[in-house]
């Protein structure tokens, strides 16, 4: 009887803990944070556990988890679109997080299975490399013997056809260098990355918890290559001094970087990054800082939840080498009929959004959203071992919620944070017109201090950003700025418009 009582008590405790977790996740979702509550259970619970125990921003953790899922699955699946296109499932992620947000802690915990796997493969690779070098030496010696026999016959003007045939057959027996199981690159040059993907395995990722190395280094200088890796298209590398080759594979990117460093990159190289479509392929999120609000909570089942996530990754990694070496064709994941209908409607919504915005970086991103959505849904389906090869309507709807979050993030990023002075000026001008027309019977002018306090896009309340936008409008002749003395003797800057208040 006591045993049954204990079992009942344990079951009640597990149920209560589950309800408490669900309530806590719901509360966090209602705060407007990252919508990880719609992730499949194993991913959702992993993220929540990391939020509690590491006390890092949820956006940072979710970005790392999605990248890990992408890297783990990209060898095994591709996505088939309703129109018949076959594309990789890989994701590109940028997470904007300041110093002290625990990027390194999150990265090391989430990516641990990959790091362990690479270490485990080192010994096996070194042994295989030793065997290869010995076989190559023997092969070269046999080649020399055949060449010497041929040379002697050539000196005597003899027939050396047998030696020629022997050389052809010998060439076919040349040992092949074993590939290194290199999954993660962090600090590399474009040339080194390309050749390593060709020589080793072509399913890998460029991952960094301090991506200033990427944005300040040379790897960013070949955006065409990184674009084609996302697209899954072959990339030909032509060399003058050595053998040319082609790279085709699956590639994930995770770049965690401080916002100010990303701003510097964007201001310096943004035109190229936008024009090439490089940034358009990324899911970008900016974290809500947890610094100063951290109250560590030790979750008893933290290791169990993280262990389930790691176990699934390890299960997939066991088969990576076999799939890559034997050129096993990836499984095709497609949408169910009902999910396909939702995708069609979603594409129409995206097209309407594109028509409403004229910012190149934003419209380029929006054009890639439907494809990123299908990739995300396929990853949810495969990683969590859902039945069959079709993404269900429910899984697709959940992925759509996540993609809507990234749309909102990019809207803020490209219309505000990274907006040019010209873009800021255009928005500011029309906002000020609405304010002027409310001042019935008064001259068409606004106090600059009023604008700085009230302008709806808060980044323009920064004096530097506001002044840059006003300078553009002044140079275009759309406004003038005059100084007026107040009754108390102080001076105010007034923004003046040369038209009647009824003009707008």
The domain boundary residue, chosen from 417, 436, 462: 417
For residues 413 and 425, membership in a common domain is answered with no
The domain boundary residue, chosen from 387, 417, 447: 417
Task: For residue 362, give the CATH number of its domain.
Answer: 3.40.50
In a domain, 483, yes or no: yes
Dihedrals φ, ψ of 284, to 5°? -110, 130
C-beta atoms surrounding 500 within 10 Å: 9
In angstroms, the CA 131 to CA 260 distance is 49
Give the tokens for residue 187: 């600090």
For residues 66 and 110, membership in a common domain is answered with yes
φ/ψ region of 196 (left if φ > 0, alpha if ψ in -120 to 50, else beta) reads: alpha
In a domain, 284, yes or no: yes
What is the pLDDT at residue 216?
79
For residues 373 and 399, membership in a common domain is answered with yes
In angstroms, the CA 5 to CA 389 distance is 43
In a domain, 488, yes or no: yes
The domain boundary residue, chosen from 400, 417, 434: 417
For residues 363 and 435, membership in a common domain is answered with no
Task: For residue 486, give the CATH number of its domain.
Answer: 1.10.10
In angstroms, the CA 147 to CA 167 distance is 8
For residues 389 and 262, membership in a common domain is answered with yes
For residues 369 and 425, membership in a common domain is answered with no
For residues 409 and 263, membership in a common domain is answered with yes
In a domain, 40, yes or no: yes
For residues 413 and 482, membership in a common domain is answered with no
Angle between helices 112-155 and 302-317 (to 10 degrees): 20
For residues 236 and 320, membership in a common domain is answered with yes
In a domain, 260, yes or no: yes
Rounded to two decimals, what is the model's pTM?
A: 0.82
CA-only gyration radius of the chain, Å: 29
> What's the Cα-to-Cα distance from 30 to each of 24, 34, 209, 405, rounded to whole Å?
10, 10, 28, 13
What is the pLDDT at residue 188?
83
Per-residue pLDDT of the chain (504 residues; tens, 9 = 90+): 444 454 445 444 434 444 544 555 555 555 557 899 999 999 999 999 998 888 899 999 999 999 999 999 999 999 999 999 999 999 999 999 998 899 999 999 999 999 999 999 888 888 888 998 999 999 999 999 988 988 888 888 888 888 888 888 988 888 888 888 899 998 888 888 888 999 888 899 999 998 888 887 776 778 889 999 999 988 888 775 667 788 888 999 999 999 888 888 888 877 787 778 899 999 999 988 777 676 766 666 667 789 999 999 999 999 998 888 788 899 999 999 999 999 999 999 999 999 988 788 899 999 999 999 999 999 999 999 888 999 999 999 999 999 999 999 999 888 888 888 888 898 899 899 888 877 665 668 889 999 999 888 878 888 888 999 999 999 999 999 999 888 888 888 999 887 654 443
In a domain, 10, yes or no: no
Tally of domains within the chain: 2
For residues 400 and 482, membership in a common domain is answered with no
In a domain, 150, yes or no: no
Of 470, 369, 370, the residue nearest 411 (C-alpha): 369
In angstroms, the CA 113 to CA 104 distance is 15
For residues 241 and 323, membership in a common domain is answered with yes
Under a CB-based contact definition with an 8 Å cutoff, are residues 428 and 472 in contact? no
What is the pLDDT at residue 17?
45
Domain that holds residue 433: 421-503
What is the pLDDT at residue 184?
94
For residues 350 and 472, membership in a common domain is answered with no
In a domain, 13, yes or no: no
């Amino acid at each position: 009887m006591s045993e049954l009582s204990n079992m009942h008590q344990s079951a009640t405790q597990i149920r209560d803990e589950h309800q408490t977790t669900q309530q806590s996740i719901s509360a966090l979702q209602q705060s407007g944070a990252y919508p990880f509550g719609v992730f499949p259970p194993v991913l959702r619970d992993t993220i929540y556990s990391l939020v509690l125990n590491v006390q890092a921003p949820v956006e940072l953790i979710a970005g790392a988890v999605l990248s890990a899922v992408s890297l783990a699955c990209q060898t095994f699946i591709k996505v088939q679109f309703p129109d018949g296109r076959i594309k990789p499932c890989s994701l590109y992620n940028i997470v904007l997080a300041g110093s002290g947000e625990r990027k390194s802690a999150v990265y090391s915990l989430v990516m641990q299975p990959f790091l362990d796997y690479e270490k485990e493969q080192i010994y096996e690779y070194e042994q295989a490399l030793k065997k290869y070098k010995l076989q190559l030496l023997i092969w070269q010696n046999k080649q020399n013997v055949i060449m010497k026999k041929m040379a002697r016959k050539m000196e005597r003007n003899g027939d050396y056809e047998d030696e020629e045939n022997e050389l052809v057959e010998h060439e076919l027996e040349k040992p092949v260098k074993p590939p290194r199981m290199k999954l993660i690159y962090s600090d590399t040059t474009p040339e080194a990355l390309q050749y390593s993907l060709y020589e080793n395995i072509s399913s890998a990722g460029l991952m960094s918890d301090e991506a200033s190395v990427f944005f300040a280094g040379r790897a960013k200088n070949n955006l065409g290559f990184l674009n084609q890796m996302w697209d899954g298209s072959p990339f030909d590398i032509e060399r003058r001094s050595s053998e040319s080759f082609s790279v085709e594979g699956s590639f994930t990117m995770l770049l965690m970087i401080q916002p100010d460093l990303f701003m510097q990159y964007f201001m310096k190289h943004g035109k190229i990054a936008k024009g090439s479509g490089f940034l358009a392929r990324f899911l970008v999120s900016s974290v809500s800082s947890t610094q100063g609000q951290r109250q560590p909570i030790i979750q008893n089942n933290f290791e169990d939840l993280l262990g389930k996530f790691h176990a699934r990754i390890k299960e997939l990694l066991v088969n990576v080498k076999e799939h890559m070496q034997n050129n096993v064709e990836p499984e095709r994941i497609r949408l169910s009929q009902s999910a396909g209908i939702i995708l069609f409607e979603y594409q129409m919504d995206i097209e309407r959004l594109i028509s409403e915005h004229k910012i190149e970086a934003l419209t380029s991103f929006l054009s890639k959203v439907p494809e990123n959505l299908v990739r995300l849904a396929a990853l949810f389906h495969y990683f969590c071992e859902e039945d069959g090869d079709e993404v269900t309507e429910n899984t697709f709807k959940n992925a759509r919620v996540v993609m809507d979050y990234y749309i909102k993030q990019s809207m803020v990023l490209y219309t505000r944070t990274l907006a040019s002075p010209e873009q800021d000026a255009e928005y500011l001008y029309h906002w000020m017109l609405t304010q002027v027309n409310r001042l019935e019977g008064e001259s068409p002018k606004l106090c600059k201090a009023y604008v700085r306090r009230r302008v709806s896009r808060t980044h323009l309340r920064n004096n530097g950003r506001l002044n840059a936008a006003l300078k553009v409008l002044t140079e275009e002749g759309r406004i003038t700025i005059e100084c007026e003395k107040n009754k108390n003797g102080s001076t105010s800057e007034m923004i003046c418009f040369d038209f009647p208040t009824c003009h707008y």
